[in-house]
Amino acid sequence: MEARAQSVQSARRSKEDKKLLKRQIKASHTLLKHEGITTASEPTQCVVVCNGGLGNGVSREQLMAVLTEGGAVVESLLMPPNKPYSFASFASPQDGRSAQTRCHGRTLQANDGHRVTLYCSYVLPAVDRGVCECVSLPPGLCVLEDFVSPEEESQLLDAVNWTSHDDDVTTRRELKHRRVKHYGYEFRYDNNNVDKDKPLPEGLPSECDAVLQRCVCDGLISVLPDQLTVNQYESGQGIPPHVDTHSAFEDTILSLGLGAKTVMDFRHPDGRSVSIVHPARSLLVMKGESRYLWTHGITPRKFDVVPASAAERSGVVNFDPSDLTLNQRGTRTSFTFRKIRHTPCDCAYPSVCDSQRPSSPPCLPVARSDACRLEEQYVHRVYEEISAHFSSTRHAPWPRVRDFLLTLPSDAIMADIGCGNGKYLGINPQAFSLGCDRSVNLVSICAERGFHSVVCDALSVPLRSSAFDAVISIAVIHHFSTQ
Tell whether residue 243 is a contact of Zn ion (CB under 5 A): no
Tell whether residue 293 is a contact of Zn ion (CB under 5 A): no
Closest approach of Zn ion to the CB of residue 328, in Å: 38
DSSP assignment of 138-168: PTTEEEETT-S-HHHHHHHHHH--TT---TT
Closest approach of Zn ion to the CB of residue 144, in Å: 25
> Which of 293/414 has CB closer to Zn ion?
293
Question: Cβ(247)–Cβ(195) under 8 Å?
Answer: no
Alpha-helical regions (H) of 318-408:
368-375, 381-393, 399-406
Q: Using CA atoms, how far apart are residues 58 and 50, in angstroms rounded to an integer?
A: 11
> Which of 349/378 has CB closer to Zn ion?
349
Residue among 83, 104, 246, 281 that touches Zn ion (CB under 5 A)? 246
Stretch that binds Zn ion, among 40-48, 200-208, 281-289, 350-358 (CB under 5 A): 350-358
All residues at 6 or more sequence positions from 29 whose CB lies less than 8 Å from its CB, including other chains: none
Q: What are phi and psi of 368, to 5 degrees?
A: -60, -35
Tell whether residue 253 is a contact of Zn ion (CB under 5 A): no
Closest approach of Zn ion to the CB of residue 357, in Å: 9
Q: Which residues pair with 40 in a beta bridge?
A: 122
For the chain, report the end-to-end CA distance as a whole number of angstroms: 68
Closest approach of Zn ion to the CB of residue 339, in Å: 14
Tell whether residue 347 is a contact of Zn ion (CB under 5 A): yes
Question: Cβ(79)–Cβ(60) under 8 Å?
Answer: yes
Closest approach of Zn ion to the CB of residue 352, in Å: 7
Tell whether residue 353 is a contact of Zn ion (CB under 5 A): yes
Residue among 345, 414, 434, 443 that touches Zn ion (CB under 5 A)? 345
Stretch that binds Zn ion, among 87-95, 157-165, 238-246, 414-422 (CB under 5 A): 238-246
CA-to-CA separations, 26 to 29, 63, 100, 223, in angstroms, rounded: 5, 21, 17, 62
- Please work out the total of residues on this chain that contact Zn ion, with binding judged by CB under 5 A: 4
Q: Residues for the chain: how many in total?
A: 483
> Which of 254/353 has CB closer to Zn ion?
353
Stretch that binds Zn ion, among 36-44, 216-224, 225-233, 349-357 (CB under 5 A): 349-357
* Positions that interact with Zn ion (CB under 5 A): 246, 345, 347, 353
